[in-house]
Amino acid sequence: MAADERTRLEKRLLRQISQINKEFGLLEAGDRVMVGVSGGKDSYALMHLLEHLRRRSPVPFTLVGVNLDQGHPGFPAHVIEGWFQDNGFEYRMLKRDTYSVVLDKIPEGRTYCSLCSRLRRGILYSAAQDLGCTKIALGHHRDDLIETVMLNLFFSGQLKSMAPRLHSDDGRNVVIRPLAYCAEEDIAAYAQMMGFPVVPCDLCGSQENLQRQQIKAMLKDLEREHPRIKGSMLAALRNVRVSHLLDTDLLALKGLSFEEDESLAAL
Ligand code: SF4
């Protein structure tokens, strides 16, 4: 990738982060933001880009990178620690053996992810409190958001994605997702260009959730014929017409009634 192409890519990612930051007030003066760095491309990019933003931001905030070693055999925590050190980041390395717990509790052949990520979340939420952090930044990006909306639509009877900013389930923390407008392919290209030491994500021996794999494959197929489809889906998440949905609680909340539905008026 040529240098100007790299600069353009970095600028685009920073612009998208700045946009969502402005729209949802993700980073506020005095924030101490814990960045979960798992060793995947998304979390490295998140830490790196937030540091870029922090340096030029008129709003003062600080960052601390946190890696959690969950005890998966061969997990190379030293690689991630080395990256934190080489880049001069404040960081903490945590180690909790959730891997044994998951192996013990989940019957063979079933996917570990649900319990594994629940345990991870709990540990990270506690760490954020111990470190005096006001926010926890996670590396979910545009493709995660649109896959999640499809998963919920197809398999759980809900119309919901992932919020860019929300209070955690236990009410103890504010979780933010600064990469929510960034395309996964841009992040992957950026990670490659920056030479982030990406840790393989199959050490746990679990398979990615089958339904998510199906959704990814479906989107990939559709994207071949309609290259802008993911952009359109993200735009749709920012452009919800409550009056044209069927959630009576939401309609009541917005003070809307079926009579006000312009599609009916046009009949
Ligand atoms: S892929 Fe492995 S590490 Fe990731 S959530 Fe699933 S079980 Fe945990």
pLDDT in tens, the chain (267 residues): 577 888 999 999 999 999 999 999 999 999 999 999 999 999 999 999 999 999 999 999 999 999 999 999 899 999 999 999 999 999 999 999 999 999 899 887 777 888 998 999 999 999 999 999 999 999 999 999 999 999 999 999 999 999 999 998 778 899 999 999 999 999 999 999 999 999 987 767 666 678 888 999 999 999 999 999 999 999 999 999 998 999 999 888 877 765 554 544 444
| DSSP track, 223-249 | HHH-TTHHHHHHHHHTS--GGGS--HH
CA nearest 121: which of 65, 169, 162? 169
Residue 15: CB partners within 8 Å, gap ≥ 6? none
The answer to whether 176 and 165 have CB atoms below 8 angstroms apart is yes
Query: What is the reported pLDDT for 265?
Result: 44
Asked whether residue 231 is assigned to any structural domain, the reply reads: no
CA nearest 173: which of 123, 128, 131? 128
Please tell me the distance between residue 203's alpha carbon and the centre of ligand 1 in angstroms: 8
Asked whether residue 234 is assigned to any structural domain, the reply reads: no
The answer to whether 89 and 47 have CB atoms below 8 angstroms apart is yes
Query: What is the reported pLDDT for 109?
Result: 75
pTM: 0.91
Asked whether residue 108 is assigned to any structural domain, the reply reads: yes
Q: How many CA atoms lie within 13 A of 234 on its CB side?
A: 17
Query: What is the reported pLDDT for 255?
Result: 79
- Indicate if ligand 1 lies below 6 Å from the C-beta of 106: no
Query: What is the reported pLDDT for 231?
Result: 97
Query: What is the reported pLDDT for 257?
Result: 65
Asked whether residue 257 is assigned to any structural domain, the reply reads: no
Please tell me the distance between residue 37's alpha carbon and the centre of ligand 1 in angstroms: 14
Asked whether residue 145 is assigned to any structural domain, the reply reads: yes
In this structure, what CATH number is given to the domain that contains residue 211? Answer: 3.40.50.620
Query: What is the reported pLDDT for 114?
Result: 84
What's the distance, Cα to Cα, between the start and end of the chain in Å?
A: 54
Asked whether residue 23 is assigned to any structural domain, the reply reads: yes
Number of domains observed in the structure of the chain? 1
- Indicate if ligand 1 lies below 6 Å from the C-beta of 159: no
Q: Which domain holds residue 131?
A: 3-225
Strands 165-167 and 174-176 come out as antiparallel
Query: What is the reported pLDDT for 133?
Result: 97
Asked whether residue 263 is assigned to any structural domain, the reply reads: no
Cα separation, 165 vs 28, whole angstroms: 12
Helices 113-130 and 98-105: crossing angle, nearest 10°? 150
Asked whether residue 112 is assigned to any structural domain, the reply reads: yes
Query: What is the reported pLDDT for 266?
Result: 44
Please tell me the distance between residue 120's alpha carbon and the centre of ligand 1 in angstroms: 10
CA nearest 37: which of 188, 139, 121, 185? 139
- Indicate if ligand 1 lies below 6 Å from the C-beta of 125: no
Query: What is the reported pLDDT for 4?
Result: 84
